Structure 1
Amino acid sequence: MSQTPEKNIWTPEYEIYIPSNETVITQRKLEGLKKLAEIKQWGIRNPTKFMKEFIGVELLDSQEYVFMNSWNKPFCLWLESRGAGKSTMLALYFMTKGLLFNNYWAYICSGNADQAQETFRKIEDIAKKNIESMTGLTDVFVNELVKNQANTDGFVRSPMGFTYKLYNGSFVKTLNSNIDGKRGKRANAVCFDEGSWLSEEIFNVIGAFTAVNKEFKLGGDIDVNAIPREIPNQLLYASSASSVDTAFYNKYRDFSKKMLLGDDRYFVADINCDIVIHATQKGIPLNKSLLSQETVDNEMRNNPEKALREYYNRFTKDGGVNQIIKRSLIVRNSEKYVPVMYNDTGKRKFVLCYDPARNIDNSTVLISEILDADEGYKLKIVNSVNFTDLNIKKKKKPMRTPDQIAALKELIVNYNGKDVPDYDNIFFLIDGGSGGGGNLIPDFFMEDWKDKSGKTHKGLLDKEYSADYIKQYPTAVNKIKVVTPSGYKSQMYEALIKMVESDLIIFPEHYDNHGYLVFTNEDTLKVNSVKQELYANGFTDEEVEEKLSEMNLVQQETYKLSLDEENALSQIDAMKEEIVNICRVKRDGGKDAFKLPAHKDADTGASEATMHKRHCAIAA
């Protein structure tokens, strides 16, 4: 087939098949439709060139490799490092397909609605030219969006999911991992964003959206054999690496095998941080990349296992069959919230657990809030301070013990609250093990002391542990609990297991190092009002859901994290990493032992896990 150039777009020479139709089409309109068909056919054959011409975005070489090899494959998996531009590639991929194919229906599914909505927001930002690094963006996509009085910009943010529709019948809609009510839908494509945290059941239920064979047609007077081949329906799994016991890892392994054996229905991309750091465009190395080596090195120092997983695409092996807490339990009990740096109301209750260490760069304090819920008390992890140089943005000098004590006292003041009697809102625990020097720490708190503002506070002591000093410090308040791990270790781990399994501990969601959190706020009052009105008019549940899905009833707010808040989330992630690696070791005729498995380094974050199980013992 020969090709001819026309306005820098190569169009193939072919005849357009026009089915018989009673509707009269003018020659001018027919020529316009023919031109549109030629451009679309050229775009389908050259999607990245189409994207450059009509959306205004040019990809990096690695991105173009992934894009082109995924274009017509039914089963694709993108394993990509953090910073590879995945939360952008997905956006451009579905924007391009939506423009080129009529009635292209796509769903984006993630472990929570926020994650799926992040990809949707990226589409919105590209369409509205809100991305500074993309200087050549056009208005083509935004001009194709269906708009109305209730939806002035074409992007609908509804409790039923974020969505947009194009004039050619194509749409994209976000889903979360709640599979209730999602069976039986149909789609041309389903994207599982951050698929590492999704279950096999979600893959099966939502993946069934694409089960119908698009090649099957019944045509009446039309010869179905003359109809051009359809691009196949597609399942796209995109994520950073996880652990080897996840459904996503099984997909990665199985798809890779089939691709390597020559099955052209499968494509797997494995893009690690080295490819991102040394990115090229048209074979020429870039002066600036999406990811820096310094960022990766900092993460490797802070949390090596997490960094190997998220930047080098290495699937990790947790504790194995004897693992006491599965990663899925941590995910189930995780919520999105900003770390708490102080007692803002003066009424909240906090537990501070301090684990000193002989090495002055490994002491840590974990802060949790005690919540009085309907089902009883819960524990919410709100902050973790590690007295070390593992800062995300800049390095800190390790603190000497006296400096740590001073910092601890400031934390006690902050979490007790302003204008509140001393220690009314805090519980303070100290690891009293002699190995870390904790048996000496209570001596630093017995005397009265002054905070930075000059206010005097009473001393603290444990009247059981420090009984000999009660008379010497009569004003000291009994608000310290010194815990000797050797005596309570087994009970603490058992308490940790029971509380996590009972959903009594709340963790912050996994932190992606973006420097901000995006919160979605639903207008509940308006949603309920609309529902009542629709039901009063006789609408069914399905009709109500459809109406709500067309209304903007959700607002989003971006919260910029401070450096301390970023550090807190990173330290808590390190703690969670430790928890999922602890194993139970059976002992005959005695209490079970709990420790890291043989394939783990015993010195990677033990203090965080130690302090966490102590919290569980207190809350229990």
Structure 2
Amino acid sequence: MQIMVLQEMWNRPFPMLIGSRGFSKSFLLALYAVLKCAFYPGTKVVIVGAAFRQSKIIFEYMENMWKNSPILRSIFNGNEDGPRRDVDRCTIRLGDSWAIAIPLGNGDKIRGLRAHIILADEFSSISPDIYETVVSGFAAVSASPIQNVKEEAKKAAMKLAGVWSEELDTISRRINNQAVISGTADYGFKHFAQYWKRYKSIIESKGEERKLREIFNGEIPPNFNWKDYSIIRIPYELIPKGFMDDKQVSRAKATIHVGIYNMEYAACFVNDSQGFFRRSLIESCVTKDYPAITIGNKPVVFDAITQGNPNLHYVYGIDPASEQDNFSIVILEVHPDHSRIVYCWATNRNNFKERQKIGLAQEYDFYSFCSRKIRDLMKTFPPIRIGMDAQGGGVAIEEALHDPGKLQDNEQLIWPIIDYDKAKDTDSQQGLHILELVQFAKADWTSQANHGLRKDLEDKILLFPRFDNLTLGLAMEKEGKNILDDDLNPLYDSVSECILEIEELKNELTTIVMTQTSTGPQARDRWDTPEVKLPNGKKGRLRKDRYSSLLIANMIARQLNRTLQSPNYDVVGGDTRDLINQQSNKLYKGPEWFTSNVNDDDIYQGIYR
């Protein structure tokens, strides 16, 4: 199977490799680059990925091939031969050939590179604008320009003399440049699927001029050959038996959402998620530089952050589960006309124990650790309201937040909000009354919260931070992380981990489905993840802790922003000297339908005779 893939890639200038998760696509690209560099002296290969980490993975495979291949090292035994790691690139040289793995960034720092072969892995996460404007320009110059110029002149002369034929065109061998696209299938509305549709339509045209004109909107590019394009799609079912762990794939098919399985293992582009929150709707709420989301005639672009603005207001949503699901926190930055998801954090007991081992957690119990995390966030994200699920560990977190023994300097006790229609024993306590406990068991609240969340997404009132490989790469570079390993275990709270947590939040939203508890007149709507089979054979459900936190935070933000302000009635009377000078105040206060008319200057008129 892998030999067939390599052969197809070898003979086509524009191959596209779409493979199942675990098919070793990155290893194949590394092997292909080594073979090209070894068999064609002077070959230049540029490797780009969704982030520098991805291109480094391909380079690491090439590095292992070099270390484990004594014959290869004996052939290329020069002082400059072999792999080399630099801060901004990784290079391997084989004689006159070289392959370089680079960070893509925004493309400014890598302009000017020239290569014969471009390997783009995890293409779904690569910005199409950067790929077309910068990366594709790497291969703009021919691999052997002088030889190709001579061949073109010879071909033109033979055509003029009438001795050129298609057989001679097939026999003539030219060293063509290549642009290889590889990755796992994605959603059908994203750019990887658009490339796949274009490649597929070109191949299905079989060179028919009418179909090609439809594809290219009337004008076929000069020297275009439909045979240059190839799609290699390898789903799990076509991979030889034993190549992958069948039990793990079966577990994945039973536990993950069918749409995600079709993308990850069946190598299919899914038109959209089938849940209550469509993936296309979620992606439309992600801010980007272009086209930007405009609110109030102003473009809105922002990034995930770990430190808030003391002049702004924030709303917390907390799901305190810790056993089956994660303990999660979502923070919204509340603006007058919209809300921004700026922070997401999740943990569980196992993660807490790992933090204890390396000294990152000083607390001895899990809920004290979580309450300390909330208080630490309050120092950088000043909250106007903290919403939390009252079930699960909600009561334990509530008690920890108003425990005087857990306070640090300049901290205050946190109590439930004061409801003037329903008095509580805690109303008279000194401290911050900003904690709102939510009852998920109430069907009315759950229904309003879910429909309100989708309505805010449809109206572009709730926005996600922009996400691309540049944002993630810059965050990890600023944190000084080992980009190959350190980002896999979220022990340290950082911007890069926050970015990835928000991506997980999006994935959880796409899995939420709405069902009904029964078919009778008393049926209630229910929002949950699909039922799946766990490895032990029992039934279970996918995680939805981040989704629950967002649901709580957004519902509270809706209530705060959409609550109509009652009129502020002033005390009648005052000092005569002050009252005489106040001639422009409103005469009446009360309902707008009444005051908008009676406060009009022309409502009272006199009759003069």
Instruction: Give the shorter-chain TM-score range.
Output: 0.5 to 0.7
Aligned pair partner of 1:558 in 478, 485, 490: 485
Whether 1:430 aligns to 2:392 is no
Whether 1:412 aligns to 2:371 is yes
Instruction: State how far apart, in whole Å, the 1-side matches of 2:138 and 2:17 are.
Output: 20
| Aligned 8 A contact 2:38 2:97 in 1 | no
User: SS at the partner of 1:325?
Assistant: helix
Q: What residue is the counterpart of 1:117 in the other structure?
A: 56
| CA pair 290-468 structure 1, distance change in 2 beyond 3 A | same
Q: What residue is the counterpart of 2:123 in the other structure?
A: 195
Aligned pair partner of 2:270 in 316, 332, 339: 316
Instruction: State how far apart, in whole Å, the 2-side matches of 1:187 and 1:568 are.
Output: 35
Whether 1:326 aligns to 2:284 is yes
Letter in 2 for 1:102: P
- Gaps of at least 5 residues in structure 1 are 1-61, 130-136, 280-285, 344-348, 392-405, 433-437, 511-517, 524-553, 584-594
Whether 1:157 aligns to 2:86 is yes
Instruction: State how far apart, in whole Å, the 2-side matches of 1:381 and 1:506 are.
Output: 18
Instruction: State how far apart, in whole Å, the 2-side matches of 1:331 and 1:299 are.
Output: 37
Letter in 2 for 1:247: H
Tell me how far 1:242 sits from its aligned partner: 0.6
Q: What residue is the counterpart of 1:463 in the other structure?
A: 418
Letter in 2 for 1:316: V
| Aligned 8 A contact 1:74 1:233 in 2 | yes
TM-score (norm 2): 0.56
C-alpha RMSD over aligned residues: 5.8
| Aligned 8 A contact 1:324 1:582 in 2 | no
Whether 1:66 aligns to 2:5 is yes
Tell me how far 1:370 sits from its aligned partner: 8.8
Q: What residue is the counterpart of 2:212 in the other structure?
A: none
Tell me how far 1:411 sits from its aligned partner: 2.5
Letter in 1 for 2:267: N
| Aligned 8 A contact 1:78 1:269 in 2 | yes
Q: What residue is the counterpart of 1:207 in the other structure?
A: 136
Whether 1:272 aligns to 2:272 is no
TM alignment of 1:83-232, pairs within 5 A:
83-129=22-68, 137-141=69-73, 144=76, 147=79, 154-159=83-88, 161-176=89-104, 178-180=106-108, 182=110, 185-205=113-133, 206-213=135-142, 217=146, 229-232=173-176
Tell me how far 1:66 sits from its aligned partner: 0.7
User: SS at the partner of 1:293?
Assistant: helix
Tell me how far 1:166 sits from its aligned partner: 2.9
Paired residue total: 447
| CA pair 115-140 structure 1, distance change in 2 beyond 3 A | same
Letter in 1 for 2:423: D
Tell me how far 1:241 sits from its aligned partner: 0.7
TM alignment of 1:235-246, pairs within 5 A:
235-246=179-190
| Aligned 8 A contact 1:492 1:614 in 2 | no
User: SS at the partner of 2:416?
Assistant: coil
Tell me how far 1:461 sits from its aligned partner: 2.7
| Aligned 8 A contact 1:448 1:476 in 2 | no
Letter in 1 for 2:115: A
Letter in 2 for 1:325: E
| CA pair 204-615 structure 1, distance change in 2 beyond 3 A | same
Tell me how far 1:83 sits from its aligned partner: 1.3
TM alignment of 1:241-390, pairs within 5 A:
241-259=185-203, 263-276=226-239, 278-279=240-241, 286=242, 289-294=243-248, 297-298=251-252, 300-318=254-272, 323-326=281-284, 329=287, 353-355=317-319, 365-368=327-330, 379-383=342-346
TM alignment of 1:532-551, pairs within 5 A:
none
Letter in 2 for 1:611: S
| CA pair 329-468 structure 1, distance change in 2 beyond 3 A | same
| Aligned 8 A contact 2:122 2:182 in 1 | yes
Tell me how far 1:257 sits from its aligned partner: 4.4
Tell me how far 1:197 sits from its aligned partner: 2.0
Instruction: State how far apart, in whole Å, the 2-side matches of 1:294 and 1:426 are.
Output: 45
User: SS at the partner of 1:312?
Assistant: coil
Instruction: State how far apart, in whole Å, the 2-side matches of 1:298 and 1:465 are.
Output: 50
Tell me how far 1:71 sits from its aligned partner: 0.7
Instruction: State how far apart, in whole Å, the 2-side matches of 1:321 and 1:443 are.
Output: 34
- Structure with bigger gyration radius: 2
User: SS at the partner of 1:323?
Assistant: helix
Tell me how far 1:431 sits from its aligned partner: 4.7
Instruction: State how far apart, in whole Å, the 2-side matches of 1:66 and 1:242 are.
Output: 21
| Aligned 8 A contact 1:309 1:316 in 2 | yes
| Aligned 8 A contact 1:179 1:202 in 2 | yes
Instruction: State how far apart, in whole Å, the 1-side matches of 2:204 and 2:340 are.
Output: 53
| CA pair 503-93 structure 1, distance change in 2 beyond 3 A | closer
Instruction: State how far apart, in whole Å, the 2-side matches of 1:261 and 1:71 are.
Output: 22
User: SS at the partner of 1:178?
Assistant: coil
Residue deviations 1:292-341, cap 9 Å, x none?
4325524751454333311221212337797253387599999999xx9x
Letter in 2 for 1:323: L
Tell me how far 1:198 sits from its aligned partner: 2.7
- State the percentage of identical aligned residues: 16
Instruction: State how far apart, in whole Å, the 1-side matches of 2:41 and 2:320 are.
Output: 63
Letter in 1 for 2:370: L
User: SS at the partner of 1:71?
Assistant: helix
Residue deviations 1:353-381, cap 9 Å, x none?
34589xx998664224799xxxx998332
| Aligned 8 A contact 1:107 1:175 in 2 | no
User: SS at the partner of 2:189?
Assistant: coil
Instruction: State how far apart, in whole Å, the 1-side matches of 2:468 and 2:387 are.
Output: 18
| CA pair 187-461 structure 1, distance change in 2 beyond 3 A | same
Residue deviations 1:416-462, cap 9 Å, x none?
469x99x9999742257xxxxx6x987676667999xx978978533
Instruction: State how far apart, in whole Å, the 1-side matches of 2:50 and 2:343 are.
Output: 21
Tell me how far 1:492 sits from its aligned partner: 5.5
Instruction: State how far apart, in whole Å, the 1-side matches of 2:65 and 2:289 are.
Output: 31
Aligned pair partner of 1:481 in 436, 442, 447: 436
Q: What residue is the counterpart of 1:75 in the other structure?
A: 14
| Aligned 8 A contact 2:124 2:192 in 1 | yes
Instruction: State how far apart, in whole Å, the 2-side matches of 1:219 and 1:269 are.
Output: 28
Tell me how far 1:126 sits from its aligned partner: 2.3
| Aligned 8 A contact 1:120 1:174 in 2 | no
User: SS at the partner of 2:485?
Assistant: strand
Q: What residue is the counterpart of 2:507 in the other structure?
A: 577
| Aligned 8 A contact 1:383 1:572 in 2 | no
| Aligned 8 A contact 2:47 2:99 in 1 | no
| Aligned 8 A contact 2:416 2:434 in 1 | yes
| CA pair 367-99 structure 1, distance change in 2 beyond 3 A | same
| Aligned 8 A contact 2:9 2:15 in 1 | yes
| CA pair 190-509 structure 1, distance change in 2 beyond 3 A | same
User: SS at the partner of 2:138?
Assistant: helix
User: SS at the partner of 1:232?
Assistant: coil
Instruction: State how far apart, in whole Å, the 1-side matches of 2:139 and 2:64 are.
Output: 28
Residue deviations 1:41-99, cap 9 Å, x none?
xxxxxxxxxxxxxxxxxxxxx21111111111111011012211113111110011001
| Aligned 8 A contact 1:460 1:476 in 2 | yes
Instruction: State how far apart, in whole Å, the 2-side matches of 1:596 and 1:76 are.
Output: 45
